[in-house]
A = this chain, B = another copy of it.
């Protein structure tokens, strides 16, 4: 018996995604729910980073997680075992969530019961960047093995993200990854981006990232 629901998302009917996203953000602010949109390539460690984040913050905030995937439910299993409310959103082949699809998830979990809702978006550096979900903040993860040229190749993702988490720092010595150069490339794309190098595996750097998230959540729900 699964202890999470699977929601088959419907295609959105809204013509203007930005307008819908702004509407969602407005009611989330009013109802004191911070929505974090977490994006990355497949395999950069979104779910492991999320588990570490939940460990740090689950006693401080009421948290729910919406796992978006094309059609599996691997991640919702993992998160619900960590003792946090989770639902799995199936995009039916779609490579991203838009505002309307995000809203279907928010309604399904009764978002206003939570201080912090985390959306783990579909693993994709291109399509997810093109659609505002209504999130309070956008966070992207780049992992060390993916290489340091990604800000050059996926500029939009770096431009629209408030935070860049650089994950898998524990293996940096085995890869040709110049941390300072990557920071420089990312800041060229987006001078306001906050950068947190972490290892979700060892826990290194996670506290600083969680402090940022906690501060932002406090500001949003105060």
Q: What residues make up the interface of A, taking CB atoms closer than 8 Å to B?
A: 41-44, 69-72, 74, 93, 95, 122-127, 130, 143, 145-147, 149-150, 152-156, 168, 171, 174-175
Q: Which residues of B contact A150 (CB under 8 A)?
A: 42-43
A145's partner among B43, B71, B122 (CB-CB below 8 A) is B43
CA A7 to CA B175, docked complex, whole Å: 32
Q: Are B155 and A95 in contact (CB under 8 A)?
A: no
Dominant secondary structure of chain A at its interface with chain B: loop
Q: How near does chain B come to A161, taking the closest CB pair, in angstroms?
A: 15
Q: Which residue of B lies closest to A143 (CB)?
A: B145
Given A41-B43, A146-B42, A174-B171, verify A156-B126 contact (CB < 8 Å).
no
Given A171-B171, A174-B171, verify A95-B124 contact (CB < 8 Å).
yes
Q: Which residues of B contact A74 (CB under 8 A)?
A: 149, 152-153
With A70-B155, A171-B174 known, 18 other A-B pairs at CB within 8 A are: A41-B123, A42-B146, A43-B146, A43-B147, A43-B150, A70-B153, A72-B153, A72-B155, A95-B95, A95-B127, A124-B124, A124-B127, A126-B127, A143-B145, A145-B145, A145-B168, A171-B171, A174-B174
**Pairs A–B under 8 Å by Cβ, sample size 22:** A41-B42, A41-B123, A42-B150, A42-B154, A43-B143, A43-B145, A43-B147, A69-B153, A71-B155, A72-B155, A74-B149, A93-B126, A95-B95, A95-B124, A123-B125, A123-B126, A124-B126, A143-B145, A145-B146, A145-B168, A171-B171, A171-B174
Q: How near does chain B come to A44, taking the closest CB pair, in angstroms?
A: 8
Q: How near does chain B come to A57, taking the closest CB pair, in angstroms?
A: 24
